[in-house]
Amino acid sequence: MLKVHNVTFQYDTKVVLNNISLELHPGEQLSIIGESGSGKSTLLKIIYGLHHVEKGKLFWGKKRLLGPNYNLVPGEDFIKYLAQDYDLMPYITVEENVGKYLSNFYPRKKQKRIAELLNLVGLTAYAKTKPTDLSGGQQQRVAIAKALAQQPKLLLLDEPFSNIDNFKKNSLRRELFSYLKSQRISCITATHDNMDSLAYADKTMVLREGKIICFDDPKRLYKNPKNKYVASLFGEVNEILEKHIVPYSSSNKKIVCYPHQLQQSKTGYLVVKVKNSYFQGSHYLIESVLHSKTVFFNHHEAIQEGQQVSLKANFNA
């Protein structure tokens, strides 16, 4: 089990992480979300052992993780960290990159392992290709296979699917996280992607300016966001005064809601003026204005600019 206890970290005088604590059990998958600069990547680097921590402690089971000041080679053997720069050797083949740290004493076992991982990331046909001849997304998939080669106990992923095409990303994500579960490999993913933070995570941590804002089940975070910042990490969001959305209310309390929770209705209490309609595939995202403030809602078709629309809130949607 990974345990991070009251970790604080700073570059010179700037505090990047402030009093961070978490626990992760074998096979659990944690997503870390937050705006750029919130400390997501730094936390992964600290767990891996690339940054020395003066305040706080880290443990794997009963073993304390001491960081670069105590290890000649930074990092732990049982932890693999996939950074955004991929760390591939450009002049050897894809299969040689994946098997770089696998033992040569059992060549058949090594080749079988390489083949298994290339199949997992969908690059079997590129085994003999050099990374310099691959796209950025393909290089990212090679890096994932390489990180898994030695069957780590903990995998740290920093925006692991950012350069992969959508048509491949979805299937790769399903197969990868399913594989990690089956092998009981714990995983922490720093991400901006809702699919990583909602569909595949057991827990989600929200960071803001180096502090933990929320740490909960992703479904609960999504359905009951603490504030607009948390909700905005899952997509477009509205913040509307209660008196503008609840009949007969005079409260100035701010209510956070998603576009799909506002629906056009003749009996709607919220009257907005349409500004733009954006096609989203299954629906249109309608941008409207209420007292000079933007309000987003979903609709099955585009609505003419300038039209007034009455909206009703459905917070159970």
**CATH (domain of 263):** 2.40.50.140
Residue 28: per-residue pLDDT: 96
Looking at the structure, tell me whether residues 91 and 157 fall in a common domain.
Answer: yes
Residue type, 304: Q
Burial, 195: exposed, middle or buried (Cβ in 10 Å; 0-12, 13-18, 19+)?
middle
Q: What H or E segment, with its residue span, contains residue 197?
A: none
Q: The pTM is what?
A: 0.91
Q: Are residues 81 and 158 in the same domain?
A: yes
213 and 80 in one domain? yes
- Tell me, yes or no, whether 284 and 154 share the same domain: no
Do 289 and 144 lie in one domain? The reply is: no
Residues 252 and 176 placed together within one structural domain of the fold: no
**Which CATH number goes with the domain that contains 175?**
3.40.50.300
Mean pLDDT by 10 residues, the chain (317 residues): 95 91 95 93 94 92 87 82 86 94 91 96 95 92 94 94 85 92 95 84 95 94 92 92 84 92 89 96 95 94 95 85
Q: Do 246 and 195 share a domain, yes or no?
A: no
HSE toward the beta carbon, residue 43, CA cutoff 13 A: 35
282: number of CA atoms within 13 Å, CB side? 2
Contact 30, 205 (CB under 8 A): yes
User: What is the pLDDT at residue 142?
Assistant: 94
Same-domain pairing of 154 and 286? no
For the chain, the domain total comes to: 2
Q: How far apart are the first and last CA of the chain?
A: 37
Same domain? 248 vs 158: no
Domain's final residue, options 197, 230, 263: 230
Q: Can you give the pLDDT at residue 166?
A: 80
Residues 225 and 219: their CA atoms lie apart, in Å, by: 10
Residues 210 and 276 in one domain: no
Q: Which of residues 230, 245, 278 is at a domain's end?
A: 230
For residue 85, give every residue at least 6 positions away whose Cβ sits within 8 Å of its Cβ, in sequence order, or none: none
pLDDT of residue 295: 95
Q: Can you give the pLDDT at residue 268?
A: 83
Q: Which residues neighbour 273 within 8 Å (Cβ) at sequence distance 6 or greater?
A: 288, 289, 290, 306, 307, 308, 309
Whether residue 184 sits in one domain with residue 242 = no
Last residue of one domain, picked from the residues 206, 230, 254: 230
217 and 76 in a single domain? The answer is: yes
Residue 136 structural domain: 2-230
